[in-house]
Chains A and B, each alone.
Chain A
Amino acid sequence: MSRLKSVLGYAWALAALPIVLATFIGLNSWARGFAELTGLEISAWFSGGKTAQTVAHEGYVTTVHEPVFQGLIGETKKGYVQVKWTPSAGASLPNQLSDSIDFDGDGTPDFIVVLDTGSDRAELEPLTPLVLGVREVLNLGSERAVRVNLLNPKRR
């Protein structure tokens, strides 16, 4: 028994070097494999959520993301929705952007957001009691995004 334990011990110890070498040599493949195998994504609290709808305007596109109410189990009472503006190729965003946003997809606008792209200040007109206010304005280089705080309609 002690001889078997000894052989297993040495085998385990011998494997340590190949493990280290394989880690470095195959790092990119392992990393890709890890991402694919686990299917993990960045939490929507940081990424802004998946795209829900896009609206093309002259010179730019408005992207409305899915509202973020992610909780550890179920959904949270409060969250936010991200609205992003991306200029068309070769263009830049207008000085002022204004959009009516229907974040829950019920066909009626939930708020109107006006963004001054020079000062990065946003004004918000809530059209339903679910909309609380501007959470933050993000200057993403040529793009701009506004995150708007919301109440979760499912948790009211």
Chain B
Amino acid sequence: MSSPLPSNRKRSVGKALLVTLPVFLLMAMMLMGQGGLPTEGLRAISLLVTFVFIVVVFFLMARTGLTDRYRAVFFVTMAVAFVITFITNLIEVRGSMALSAANIARGETPFCPMVIPMTIIPAALTRTIIFPGRMLGGFADISTMIVLWLGVTLALGRGFCSWGCFYGGLDDGFSRIWKRRVIRHIPKRWSYLPYGVLVAIVVISALTLAPTYCEWLCPFKTVTEYNEVNSFKAAAQAVIFVSLFAGLVVVLPVLTKKRTQCGLFCPMGAFQSFTNKVNAFDIRVEKEKCTDCKRCEAVCPTFSVDSESISRGTTRISCTKCGKCVDACPQSALSYHIKGTPVAGNSGKARLFFLYPGFIFLAVFGSGMIYMALYRIMLLAKTGSMIQ
């Protein structure tokens, strides 16, 4: 469902360039500050293309006033780049996507933020992390990933799910493939399922001292790594992973135009929802402007807008601040908002206050993945292999 560009949100080219300048400078510093431009041709080209891509996307956000349209371009690109980079890296280092018992014993499993809710109770009671990774050192160690998660959570709350989660982009991408929704009605009660999954996996993980979600329910094992299939249990796990991926990340998003994994299943998303309470930003609805067209409710990918929330002038706690409802509202009744400030008259300023940390996180976090994926693709074109 697209909407005409509301002319009051557009900026002139000059103003848009000015707004983009901080992103240009910060990203130049972040990307090229460590050792400058690589000397190897393919790497240098990949880095430059990544840099230009980042700056152009932000410029378009600033110029058009549309947030979600360009955020999604970057977010989906990051997710695809993550899969390419992660898999090629695994094959290069380990020779396979499969995780053997020896890899687990050596602590070679990369940590992902999805595990965090399951680790809290065991960490508090046993002073240990129930995950076969490393606290420090190596690829995606536990401390580094927790610090990254803490940073983005403090800055964006559940905005993490639309501005930082490398899995969310896959769901988001598939939800944009078809123009029309085939499945139009999903009962609201289903949107509480992630909280049920969260409670179940937190309790079971604490009782078994094992990361239950990773072992049995993570759809993204299909495109990252999975336990070596050498037993009936491992085969059953693989079948579950692939089925959940096909259903929740591919088929249902295509049919519903919703991020069904993020909105109907992901326990990390449910956990992250609570962090919206301790965050400076939210989305507000100016009831005076609202014509009750329900376009926002229809386009929200995570079931975070409904009549009840609109009547309260806000979104539900599960809002990922993607900006899709803000882009879609023909009356500009929805806008980014800074808590404690007046709702009316500050939307442009509030959006910018949110966009800088949100986009910078996405850009810095995603740039490494996009850069490496581009490099791997060019390597494939040049040598016939993505592996060095």
Contacts and interface: CB of A to CB of B under 8 A. Distances in A.
A31 to B, nearest CB: 4
Interface string A61-80: 00000000011110000000
Interface string B273-292: 00000001100000000000
Given A21-B360, A43-B209, A35 B136 contact: yes
Contact of A6 (B30, B210, B340, B354): B340
Interface residues on B, range: 35 or more
A44 interface: yes
A71 B105 contact: no
A126 to B, nearest CB: 22
Interface stretch (B121-129, B190-198, B372-380): B121-129
Interface stretch (A52-60, A95-103, A107-115, A135-143): A135-143
Interface of A: 2, 5-6, 8-10, 12-17, 19-24, 27-28, 30-32, 34-35, 38-48, 70-73, 136, 138-141, 145
Contact of B143 (A17, A31, A136): A31
Interface stretch (B11-19, B145-153, B311-319): B145-153
B136 A31 contact: yes
Interface of B: 26, 30, 101-102, 104-107, 121-123, 125-136, 141-144, 146-148, 150-152, 154-156, 206-207, 209-210, 280-281, 338-342, 350, 353-354, 356-357, 360-361, 364
Contacts of B342: 2, 6
A12 B146 CA distance: 22
B143 A34 contact: yes
The secondary-structure label for the interface of chain A is helix
13 contacts: A10-B341, A12-B280, A13-B354, A24-B30, A31-B143, A31-B144, A32-B143, A42-B142, A43-B129, A46-B130, A48-B105, A72-B125, A73-B125
Contacts of A35: 135-136, 143
A23 to B, nearest CB: 3
A9 B342 CA distance: 10
A43 B123 CA distance: 9
5 pairs of A and B residues whose beta carbons are closest in the complex: A23-B151, A9-B340, A5-B340, A16-B357, A31-B143
Nearest to B146: A34
